[in-house]
Amino acid sequence: MQDDIFKKEEADRWFERNKEGLVPKEDLIIKIIRDYRLLDKASKVLEVGSSNGFRLAKIHEEFGSKVFAIEPSKKAVEDGKSKWDFITFYQSTIAEFDESKHFLDFDLIIVNSVFHWIDRNHLLISIGKVDNMLKWGGHLILGDFQVHIPIKRKYHHKEGVFTYKQPYKEIFTSSFLYVELFTMAFNHDSKNLAGIDINTYFSVSLLRKEELYFELYDGHRH
């Protein structure tokens, strides 16, 4: 299964290829958190597929929040633990994470550039775990290649691995349990708003977990 390939080697390889850039820095996700005042010192934040926790380090430094990370790469977790002792790491894929033993009351969960990797056998369980860990009224920041037609593509770094592009946010919003507050699209490679095509279309969405039902008071029983 694709998740096994990630656990065994590919998660570490991604970390090795990208580690130079995995440092606390400004990005769109940090800007959204700041501009919409999503966090304070009491808040609990989880990042799924956090790599070494570079974004959580920035979040803790700027907003003082409690920060938690789920990441399958042993090397990324070791690197993060050696740099930022305030991050609680769980070395796991999201599908295998036993959330019942941990927290079910996160104020914010970030899943950026992760769902497109996930084994299709594990997509819905992974989404279910994210949902289960987010408290009502909490926020989800979801970044991915959310093109409006589903695309499966061979991953050029590893035989047998595929990436899957689709509007992941719609899996959440179609449940009517998430309201879409904000979505911004840009070119994944250049980060520019211009020159987006089907390969580079990336979007970041801010969703809030809340019921979106119209409640009827007309005497009907169902």
Ligand X SMILES: C[S@@+](CC[C@H](N)C(=O)[O-])C[C@H]1O[C@@H](n2cnc3c(N)ncnc32)[C@H](O)[C@@H]1O
What are the residues binding ligand X (CB under 6 A)? 3, 6, 11, 14, 48-51, 70-73, 76, 93-95, 112-114, 117-118
98's CB contacts (< 8 A; 6+ apart) are none
Backbone angles phi, psi at 48, to 5 degrees: -95, 130
Q: Closest approach of Cβ 139 to ligand X, in Å? A: 16
Q: Closest approach of Cβ 138 to ligand X, in Å? A: 18
Q: Closest approach of Cβ 112 to ligand X, in Å? A: 4
Report strand pairing: 66-70 vs 178-187: unpaired
Q: Closest approach of Cβ 45 to ligand X, in Å? A: 13
Nearer Cβ to ligand X (130/196)? 130
> Are the CB atoms for 118 and 144 separated by under 8 Å?
no
Q: Closest approach of Cβ 211 to ligand X, in Å? A: 28
Nearer Cβ to ligand X (69/196)? 69
Chain residue whose CB lies nearest ligand X: 49
Nearer Cβ to ligand X (59/70)? 70
Backbone angles phi, psi at 138, to 5 degrees: -80, 170
**Alpha-carbon gap, residue 120 to 164, rounded angstroms:** 9
> Are the CB atoms for 139 and 77 separated by under 8 Å?
no
Nearer Cβ to ligand X (123/179)? 123
Nearer Cβ to ligand X (16/40)? 16
DSSP per-residue string spanning 84-109: -TTEEEE-S-TTT--GGGS-S-EEEE
For 185, left (φ over 0), alpha (ψ -120 to 50), or beta? Answer: beta
Nearer Cβ to ligand X (11/33)? 11
In the 8-state DSSP scheme, what is residue 216? P
Count of CB atoms within 10 A of residue 115's CB? 26
Nearer Cβ to ligand X (70/133)? 70
Would you give the distance in Å from CA 91 to the centre of its chain? 15
Q: Closest approach of Cβ 81 to ligand X, in Å? A: 15
Q: Closest approach of Cβ 117 to ligand X, in Å? A: 4
